Amino acid sequence: MNLDSLLRAELDALESVHLRRTLRAVDELPPGLLNFAANDYLGLSHHPTLIEAAREATARLGTGAGASRLVTGTNSAVLALEQELAAWKEKAAALVFSSGYAAALGTIPTLAGKGDTVILDKLAHASLIDAARLSGATVRTFPHNDMGRLETLLKKVCSYQTRTLVVTESIFSMDGDAAPLQELVELKERHGAWLMVDEAHATGLYGPTGAGLIAEAGLSPRVEIVMGTLSKALGSVGGYIAGSKELVDWLVNRARSFIYSTALPPGAIAASRAAVQVARGPEGSALRDRLRQNIARFQAGLPATWKALDLPLSAIQPLICGEAATALQLAAALREKGFFIPAIRYPTVPRNSARLRVTLSAAHADNDIDALNNALATR
């Protein structure tokens, strides 16, 4: 069959069930359209300190790194960023990747392979699932945050496996709820497993210095592998793994997505380092306070229909619609009223749980949030 004909038929099938996606140029959005879809939780992507750091580094070092770090060497700014990330995460070392996805794909297959087992929360990010499958290890999942089922799996697997890796997010990307980290740590220790936690949606937002949910819970020494991104609350781009020096050395030697990828450009590294410094300092604390106020304001002003959803106390507020068509209609109606909140559909979320994923930022003004609540009330 002709390739284009086959693909056209498959795209038409997606269209028929409201699951076809299209790319949208954000600079074509009407002026004044309020963005409640970005993961820029602290508003740092437009922070003057980050912009100036990126501008200065780009002017001095150029727009690209030229090759992978093992080919052209590592700029001292990257090493400084990794040292700051490690200290922030209360780990001995850290390694920066080109993205969070690359960090997952580079890490899990280096730690588990044929004969081993990777156990994931059912709602873990696609990058974690893909990495587990790529590893060649046996992959098992447990129902979301179901510690009883996880323990059952651990009892069975750890009785005959030498390597078992448990993988979860700390704050889940589509539901905004938190993993029971204390129970996870206790279970993996009881059964001799390792634990990998993705802090993509917690970094910058939790704990006294914004280090994340692991640090807030006082569990940093007990989590072997901490993953995160530079592209959400830190307002830049890239991903990282933090852990022991041995772990980072092993990744440098074996993580294919690190070895064979061009390093991040100097501007992104400089912006990321500036973001870490802002997030760890007094301004970061003030921004986290502002974000918490915005979350409370949004939830307090929600129409009763949405309040019944028992929304999490996080920057991610999932307004579940059910059918994809319903979510698309609501997203379109809100866009007409000046709000950019795309519908999230299968396979990003389970079938029949399509939603508007409202993300709140410290940069949102009170009247922005009130206006959105009014629009939701009159949809």
Sheet holding 343-344, edge to edge: 316-322, 354-359, 343-344
Q: Hey, what are 113's tokens?
A: 């392979």
Could you confirm whether 39 is annotated as catalytic?
yes
Could you confirm whether 173 is annotated as catalytic?
yes
Q: Hey, what are 321's tokens?
A: 């619609």
Whether 371 contacts 34, CB under 8 Å: yes
Could you confirm whether 198 is annotated as catalytic?
yes
Cα 212 to Cα 27, 93, 154, 283, distances in angstroms: 32, 16, 26, 16
Exactly one of 201, 231, 272, 364 is catalytic; which is it?
A: 201
29: phi > 0 → left, psi -120 to 50 → alpha, else beta; which?
Answer: beta
Closest by Cα among 281, 311, 280, 277 to 297: 311
What is the identity of the amino acid at 228? G
Query: Do β-strands 138-142 and 117-121 pair in parallel, antiparallel, or remain unpaired?
Result: parallel
**How many C-beta neighbours within 10 Å does residue 150 have?**
26
Exactly one of 90, 177, 198, 199 is catalytic; which is it?
A: 198
Exactly one of 47, 89, 91, 125 is catalytic; which is it?
A: 125
Exactly one of 173, 231, 272, 353 is catalytic; which is it?
A: 173
Q: How far is CA 96 from the centre of its chain?
A: 15
- Which residues partner with 94 through β-bridges? 242
Q: Hey, what are 190's tokens?
A: 């009881």
Secondary structure of 309-336 in HEC code, one letter for each residue: CCCCCCCEEEEEEECHHHHHHHHHHHHH
Exactly one of 121, 169, 177, 224 is catalytic; which is it?
A: 169
Residue 129's Cβ-count burial label (10 Å; 0-12, 13-18, 19+) is buried
- The phi and psi torsions of 373 (rounded to 5 degrees) equal -60, -40
- Which residues partner with 164 through β-bridges? 117
Whether 96 contacts 85, CB under 8 Å: yes
First-to-last alpha carbon distance for the chain, in angstroms, is: 45
**How many C-beta neighbours within 10 Å does residue 115 have?**
12
Could you confirm whether 201 is annotated as catalytic?
yes
Could you confirm whether 368 is annotated as catalytic?
no
Q: Which residues form the catalytic set?
A: 39, 125, 169, 173, 198, 201, 232
